[in-house]
Chains A and B, each alone.
Chain A
Amino acid sequence: DVKVTQSSRYLVKRTGEKVFLECVQDMDHENMFWYRQDPGLGLRLIYFSYDVKMKEKGDIPEGYSVSREKKERFSLILESASTNQTSMYLCASSGQFNPSYEQYFGPGTRLTVT
């Protein structure tokens, strides 16, 4: 079974703090993704990575950065958290040669910025 884990299920941070969200997958997948999910808006892609040290902006990268130093680990960084970044953050991975492009998701981190 593919397993994607995220460092925290719930996180509360103050405005202006630097926030690190970590994601680890155990299936040797090339592709990893960070999404945020908000009611009525669905999942929106923040960043993705198709290889170690490679990253691509998604639809809403502003206010976020990412790091992928190892294949199994993809980190999302909020440089200076703001209240509009309160959301559910979901990490996912997929294998480059998976013809169905199935994405396997982690359990999510519910971040509240006060």
Chain B
Amino acid sequence: RKEVEQDPGPFNVPEGATVAFNCTYSNSASQSFFWYRQDCRKEPKLLMSVYSSGNEDGRFTAQLNRASQYISLLIRDSKLSDSATYLCVVIRNTGGFKTIFGAGTRLFVKA
């Protein structure tokens, strides 16, 4: 079982839809959480950090549930430009920091 798991998708949604992705992690020592975005044939870029209190950046909301060990990303009012792969990233500190990337969830937003 992978330490960080994501539904690979693809998620196909119309413009304007709301879409949510989940990511589960198995190591309870995990302490920092992020969502990265990767466009086709491009490098990953940080989208947002994830906090227990949740955080929002425009149409994007990220949540962390430590008890159930998952993080989520909600995209409201989807745009064509949101089409990308969304990578869940977990950092844990067990005798040194380790960054673990999920395999990503692909999103296609269609007109």
Query: Measuring CB to CB, which residues of chain A are less than 8 angstroms from any residue of chain B?
Result: 33, 35, 40-45, 56, 90, 100-103, 105-108
Tally inter-chain residue pairs, CB-CB below 8 A: 41
**A101 to chain B: which residues have CB within 8 Å?**
32, 34, 91, 97, 99
Let me know if B101 is at the binding interface, CB within 8 A.
yes
A42–B97 CA distance with the chains assembled, in angstroms = 19
Let me know if B13 is at the binding interface, CB within 8 A.
no
Is there contact, CB below 8 Å, between B102 and A42? Answer: yes
Is there contact, CB below 8 Å, between B42 and A42? Answer: no
A56–B98 CA distance with the chains assembled, in angstroms = 11
User: Given B43, B87, B97, which contacts A108 in the complex, CB threshold below 8 Å?
Assistant: B43
Interface string of B4-15 (1 = CB under 8 A from A): 100010000000
